[in-house]
Chain A
Amino acid sequence: MLQRLLPILLLCCAGAVAAAPMGFDEARHLLNRTSFAANVGDIEAFAKLTRAQAVDQLLGWTAGTVATPAPGWINTYESPRRLRGASDEERKAFQRAQAGKGVELRGWWLTEMLTTRSPLTEKMVLFWHNHFVSSLQKVRSPVLMYRQQQVLRKNALGYFGDMLHEVAKDPAMVIYLDSASNRKGKPNENFAREVMELFTLGEGSYGEQDVKEAARAFTGWSIEPETGEFLFRRPAHDDGVKTVLGRSGNFDGDDVLDILLAQPQTAEFIVSKLWREFVSPQPEPAEVKRIARLFRDNRYNIKVALRALLLSDAFYAPQNRAALVKSPLDLIVGTLRQFRFETGEVAPFLVAARQLGQDMFAPPNVKGWPGGEAWINSATLLARKQLLERLFRAQEMRQPPPMREAAATPVAQQDAGPRARFVRAMMDIHFDADQWLAQFKPGDPRLLKVVLAAEPAAPGDDQAQGVVRLRDLVLDPVYQLK
């Protein structure tokens, strides 16, 4: 795709010759951080662009629509009310159907991540999913979780303030943070607290009294039980005077959100979080302040903040290369995309993502996945390596890996269960190692650079060839970094 676009790109950008082309290494770094993994063809194409041209190009591609067809049931809200008076059997059937839809929903998103022309879009949707957290575990409605993602998707590179107002009234959020039971006289503080602590200001920038007062302003925000749409219940709303962060008035929820958006701390909090996602684990305070100011001056335009981050010197600084740990989805989607694996059923990769600690649509709690080094402990690191080994070994042997469980299990039981499905899915996977490696001449230094973000930590076998060599590289600890 890039090769075809490149001549046009170069023409468009002919005026901006002042800055030098970014070169292979910077292009690799930029693409690796903003997509799940970078192909050698894309890297070569971007290497010829300046940093600004490259970043603008990536941001320009983010406007597209979702190519993967959504599940058929997304417009049919299943009200839990229909379970009133239902038998135990009917309840169980309903729960089974809901669980099945949950798997379909995750599969839909993973398929989009695997096939999209704009991986940055999906990375940003995932970023906001991990910021404005809701979980299927509590919301229990795949339809509402799908709708919430549409809100995040629409605003993922739009205006943060718009997204905040929309998410606050999003039915999945209303359920997840108990807004529906926040009523005049008996407030539930859950949303009011988290909107300050996790969505805007960050911990320490507000007091307990602010939480209490804000909770009063959000009273009455609820959902219509039959349709699952947002509903403002006026009788449940407390219309007295509230004082939030030093300002007093007869505030409603939207007023409180505007008060939060008016705090410079909100822009700094969001920029710091974007920094940890894209640049390094340690935000630089002066740079954060500079970019946060730009962000706020541009009505919280997310593209402006992201562009500034991706053009900052810190982004390209040597000490920040290979400084971030790949998330489970970075690892899974990146590996499948980078080596052009052809896959059948995606469900087993959803299971893998969950085992590695990133169950889509179900972050562990309202703070989201902590990320960074927390992704890696003895259990998850071994699970990562096990997955990689299977992917590359299955390829080498053209048959499923020998598995103790399979050998010890009677044949009749082998067809059922996630493990058997995983084995079958591994058989469906096709990766043409010879063709992939044919992109590189023998001894081509680009091979190492494309696969690893830094020099390998383990020396490995120099003589190893083909898929064996690739397996050595992906099992190197450095492959876990981006």
Chain B
Amino acid sequence: MQRRQFLTAAGAAAVTAWLPQSARAATAGRYENLLILVELKGGNDGLNTVVPYADAEYYSLRPRIGIAREQVLQLDGSAGLHPSLQPLMALWQKRELAVLQGVGYPAANLSHFRSIEIWDTASKSDEYLSEGWLTRAFATAPVPRSFAADGVVVGSNDKGPLAGGGTRALALTNTEQFRREARLAGGEGVSRNPALAHILKVERDVTQAAAHLGDGVVLRCEFPNHALGNAFKTAAQVVASKAGIAAVKVTHNGYDTHGGQQATQQRLLKELAEGLVAMRAAMQEIGRWDSTLMVTYCEFGRRPRENQSGGTDHGTANAHFALGGRVRGGLYGLPPALTRLDGNGNLPVALDFRDVYATALERWWGVSAVNALNGRFTPVNFLQA
């Protein structure tokens, strides 16, 4: 054994021995708590989502696309939501909505692909990892085999935080269709050919999940009639089946608003709010809202100064939402520091995205975050004890 490995192993053992009994038992993972990640693909403009409406600098940076003070849904004396997010106000008033401001990471990368990779793998800006952060979490504290799958991806072909490793991650569009077609998967055999091994693993995952899915209750709740609404509906049906699911990723496309942002974002945020509220209703219907945590994320926020095309270019820190029956509603992080922009004209970070992940891992699931996040991060206090 190399010295370094030895130290790591010895360190881990020492920590485990030191922990009280209850904390050690908790490393099994409380996966009866469901995590739903909602990806706002393309990079949502957080400044027009959670609007610093009392900051004159905001209106001087955004003379054309800024949201007028009188249109903003006020959360407090300085922050307000985009008017399309009206459906979320009921959650805000019930204190089930946490608004996380200034979420990002140091030395931001402004490429869509690299930055979402950083978020998905929970890596440092200059560090390349191949496995998603949920994949690493599930390697540390495995999801029970009795679960239909570890995670389900709806509305995207990209597994994101569930990528790589031995994670049982399903991509689904429609649960009925999935059950009908699952007979086509064999799932036997192994191979040293990586491409073939991948296909065989997908077949096995399908076979196992199909045995569990679809025995759930029929949901009465209505979902809005758009792609995101359908994705949430599929997600809700999966969750409603008797066998468990630890994590769901839902993708909402179209947030890369370099031009003509106003109309696009108005539609997208309306769809988002409708979808989130419908999902809440569905989870309440099956008695799962108190064991559901929904968190939004995306590769980056957008630049504070609007561009010539009535849009915004790639930025850094961003506003995100956490919602759930046991969320402690309120504002977290810091309001956007519009007078402290960096050399590219972008916002400073107030809250590391890995702090948000650590909250889900440690406070929601009771799983050690060190492996999954490649370091120690501080959970944010947005969950009830």
B198 at the interface (CB under 8 A from A): yes
CA–CA, A181 to B169, complex, Å?
A: 41
Looking at A113-121, A336-344, A474-482, the stretch in contact with chain B turns out to be A474-482
A222 → B minimal CB distance (Å): 12
A233 → B minimal CB distance (Å): 13
Q: Are B172 and A378 in contact (CB under 8 A)?
A: yes
CA–CA, A225 to B205, complex, Å?
A: 51
Q: Are B309 and A379 in contact (CB under 8 A)?
A: no
Decide yes or no: A281 and B195 within 8 Å by CB, A203-B114, A377-B159 being known contacts.
Answer: yes
A458 at the interface (CB under 8 A from B): yes
* Chain A residues within 8 Å of B314, by CB: 189, 193
B170 at the interface (CB under 8 A from A): yes
Within 8 A of A (CB), among B324-381: 343-344
B188 at the interface (CB under 8 A from A): yes
* Chain B residues within 8 Å of A385, by CB: 181, 184-185
Q: Are A203 and B111 in contact (CB under 8 A)?
A: yes
Q: Are A475 and B202 in contact (CB under 8 A)?
A: no
CA–CA, A374 to B157, complex, Å?
A: 7
* Chain A residues within 8 Å of B180, by CB: 404
Decide yes or no: A458 and B189 within 8 Å by CB, A386-B184, A477-B196 being known contacts.
Answer: yes
Q: Are B110 and A380 in contact (CB under 8 A)?
A: no
Q: Are A322 and B193 in contact (CB under 8 A)?
A: yes
Q: Are B188 and A197 in contact (CB under 8 A)?
A: no
The answer, among A188, A383, A457, for a CB contact under 8 Å with B313, is A188
B153 at the interface (CB under 8 A from A): yes
* Chain B residues within 8 Å of A197, by CB: 111, 113
Q: Are A281 and B308 in contact (CB under 8 A)?
A: no
The answer, among A366, A367, A389, A481, for a CB contact under 8 Å with B184, is A389
A178 at the interface (CB under 8 A from B): yes
A414 at the interface (CB under 8 A from B): no
Q: Are B111 and A193 in contact (CB under 8 A)?
A: yes
* Chain B residues within 8 Å of A291, by CB: none
* Chain B residues within 8 Å of A458, by CB: 186, 188-189
Decide yes or no: A193 and B110 within 8 Å by CB, A377-B202, A475-B184 being known contacts.
Answer: yes
B259 at the interface (CB under 8 A from A): yes
The answer, among B157, B199, B308, B311, for a CB contact under 8 Å with A477, is B199
Q: Are A183 and B308 in contact (CB under 8 A)?
A: yes
Query: A171-205 toward B: CB 8 Å interface, digit per residue (1/0)?
Result: 00000001001110011111001000100000100
A273 → B minimal CB distance (Å): 14
Query: A395-426 toward B: CB 8 Å interface, digit per residue (1/0)?
Result: 00000000010000000000000000000000
Within 8 A of A (CB), among B184-221: 184-186, 188-189, 191, 193-196, 198-200, 202-203, 205-206, 209
* Chain A residues within 8 Å of B92, by CB: none
Q: Are B191 and A208 in contact (CB under 8 A)?
A: no
Decide yes or no: A382 and B258 within 8 Å by CB, A208-B344, A367-B112, A377-B159 being known contacts.
Answer: no
Query: A347-388 toward B: CB 8 Å interface, digit per residue (1/0)?
Result: 000000000010000001111001011101111111101100
Q: Are B259 and A381 in contact (CB under 8 A)?
A: no
Q: Are B205 and A378 in contact (CB under 8 A)?
A: yes
B173 at the interface (CB under 8 A from A): yes
Closest residue on chain A to residue B41 by CB atoms:
A365
Closest residue on chain B to residue A381 by CB atoms:
B202
The answer, among A281, A367, A382, for a CB contact under 8 Å with B185, is A382
CA–CA, A188 to B188, complex, Å?
A: 52
A324 at the interface (CB under 8 A from B): yes
B91 at the interface (CB under 8 A from A): no
CA–CA, A208 to B178, complex, Å?
A: 44
* Chain A residues within 8 Å of B188, by CB: 457-458
Q: Are B206 and A378 in contact (CB under 8 A)?
A: yes
Q: Are A457 and B206 in contact (CB under 8 A)?
A: no
Name the residue in B256, B311, B313 with the highest tally of chain A Cβ atoms < 10 Å from its Cβ.
B313
The answer, among B171, B172, B185, B308, for a CB contact under 8 Å with A181, is B308
Q: Are A186 and B181 in contact (CB under 8 A)?
A: no
Q: Are B195 and A381 in contact (CB under 8 A)?
A: no
* Chain B residues within 8 Å of A404, by CB: 180
* Chain B residues within 8 Å of A212, by CB: 344
CA–CA, A374 to B120, complex, Å?
A: 15
CA–CA, A379 to B179, complex, Å?
A: 11
The answer, among A183, A365, A373, for a CB contact under 8 Å with B112, is A365
B196 → A minimal CB distance (Å): 6
Q: Are A378 and B200 in contact (CB under 8 A)?
A: no
The answer, among B114, B186, B196, B202, for a CB contact under 8 Å with A378, is B202
Closest residue on chain A to residue B189 by CB atoms:
A457
* Chain A residues within 8 Å of B309, by CB: 178, 181, 188
B290 at the interface (CB under 8 A from A): no
Within 8 A of A (CB), among B224-254: none
B182 at the interface (CB under 8 A from A): yes
Q: Are A281 and B194 in contact (CB under 8 A)?
A: yes
Closest residue on chain B to residue A476 by CB atoms:
B186
Q: Are B112 and A477 in contact (CB under 8 A)?
A: no
Closest residue on chain B to residue A189 by CB atoms:
B313
* Chain A residues within 8 Å of B186, by CB: 457-458, 477
A59 at the interface (CB under 8 A from B): no
CA–CA, A462 to B195, complex, Å?
A: 25
B158 at the interface (CB under 8 A from A): yes
CA–CA, A325 to B172, complex, Å?
A: 20
A323 at the interface (CB under 8 A from B): yes
Decide yes or no: A322 and B196 within 8 Å by CB, A181-B259, A374-B158, A378-B172 being known contacts.
Answer: yes
Q: Are A188 and B195 in contact (CB under 8 A)?
A: no
B341 → A minimal CB distance (Å): 13
The answer, among A325, A378, A457, for a CB contact under 8 Å with B178, is A378
CB<8 Å pairs between A and B, sample of 23: A188-B258, A193-B110, A193-B111, A203-B113, A208-B343, A365-B112, A372-B195, A373-B194, A373-B198, A377-B202, A378-B178, A381-B199, A381-B206, A385-B185, A457-B186, A457-B189, A457-B191, A457-B196, A458-B188, A477-B199, A477-B200, A481-B193, A481-B199
What 7 pairs between A and B have smallest CB-CB spacing? A181-B309, A377-B171, A186-B308, A385-B184, A382-B181, A379-B171, A477-B199
Q: A203-B114, A208-B344, A382-B182 are in contact. List 6 more A-B contacts (CB 8 A).
A: A188-B308, A370-B158, A377-B157, A381-B185, A477-B199, A477-B203
